[in-house]
Amino acid sequence: MNKLALLTLLLLFTAACRPADDSWERVQAAGVLKVGLDPTYPPFEVADAAGVSGLDVDLARALAADLGVAAEFVYFGFDGLYDALATEQVDVLLSALVIAPERGKDFAFTEPYFNAGQVLIVPAGDTAIGEMADLDGRTLAVELGALGHVEATTWAKRIPDLTVRPYTTGDEALTAVLTGEADAALIDAISGRLYLKEQPQLQIVQEVTVEPFAIIVRIEDEQLLARLNTSLEDLRQSGELDDIIGKWLGD
């Protein structure tokens, strides 16, 4: 019993030795959430004379409002984002960044807010194709050389009578579905949704791969991470997250 008490005491002591996480208090005291982004990636973030706008910008503002602070945007080049966060130039990164487990030693990721992976697109109302496995004997349009093409080639090894037809651009692949030249298209979710925004005759039936976008904080900022996850869940529950995504990428 004494040994157990000693062990508990030791664990408590070790925990107490960790540096205090004041990340949330810091943001709260400043009244500002500093958001790092690379504003060259429409429709997620783009800066012009009128200022910065995009899906991530709206999301950052909504999160900040939920947290009771203001969002302040700081621009960096795509390659400099993680360094900017590590050197405490910003509190978070919100810039269409994919969860990178390799960076887990230094950074923490919120729950994903968008899946940018490959999606399967078919003509609206087509009930025969609900997933990749339904493509036996069908033609699948892809963008030449893109990740959808790589994924489709992998599926073609499993589905004996699947024809993969590459097109020069993603839009051409989707147009092929529209005109009946192909039965379906496998394309990244951003390109696909942007096309569907203008062409409602097509529909997404399956998210085939996962490329999750998340908000990123420094690994020690656990309090801020927890607050962001709670706010993200609030936005999800209230439907505001869907509204923001729908505004920029279509419903």
Size of interface with another protein, in residues (CB under 8 A) = 23
Cis ω before 43 (30° cut-off from 0)? yes
Nearer to another protein, 48 or 79 (CB): 79
How far is the CA of 230 from the CAs of 112, 169, 223, 244, in angstroms? 12, 39, 11, 17
Coil, helix or strand at residue 143: strand
Q: Which of 6, 9, 74, 100 contacts another protein by CB under 8 A?
A: 100
Candidate segments 129-137, 148-156, 198-206, 235-243, binder of another protein by CB under 8 A: 148-156
Residue 145 in contact with another protein, rule: CB under 8 A: yes
Q: Structure tokens of 49?
A: 């004379």
Which is nearer to another protein, 39 or 64 (by Cβ)? 39
Phi, psi at 2, each rounded to 5°: -60, -40
Q: Scan residues 117-136 and list those touching another protein (CB under 8 A).
A: none
Q: Identify any residues that bridge with 40 across adjacent strands, giving them in sequence order.
A: 46
* Alpha-carbon distances, residue 97 vs 44, 194, 214 (angstroms): 10, 19, 6
- The reply to whether 89 sits near another protein by the rule CB under 8 A is no
Instruction: Give the Cα separation of 237 and 50 in Å (integer).
Output: 31
| Candidate ranges 9-17, 57-65, 164-172, 202-210; the one touching another protein (CB under 8 A) | 164-172
8 A C-beta contact, residue 230 and residue 102:
no
Q: How many angstroms separate the CA atoms of 94 and 251, rounded?
A: 21
Judged by CB under 8 A, which of 89, 169, 230, 238 binds another protein?
169
The one among 41, 52, 209, 246 contacting another protein by CB under 8 A: 41
Region of 83-91, 99-107, 126-134, 198-206 interacting with another protein (CB under 8 A): 99-107
Please select the residue that binds another protein; options are 103, 138, 165, 197, rule is CB under 8 A: 103
Contact call for residue 168 and another protein (CB under 8 A) = yes
H or E stretch at 48: strand 45-48
Select 80 or 123, whichever has its Cβ closest to another protein. Answer: 80
Q: Could you say which DSSP state residue 64 is in?
A: H
**Where does this chain bind another protein (CB under 8 A)?**
38, 40-41, 78-79, 96, 98, 100, 102-103, 143-146, 149-150, 153-154, 166, 168-169, 188, 190
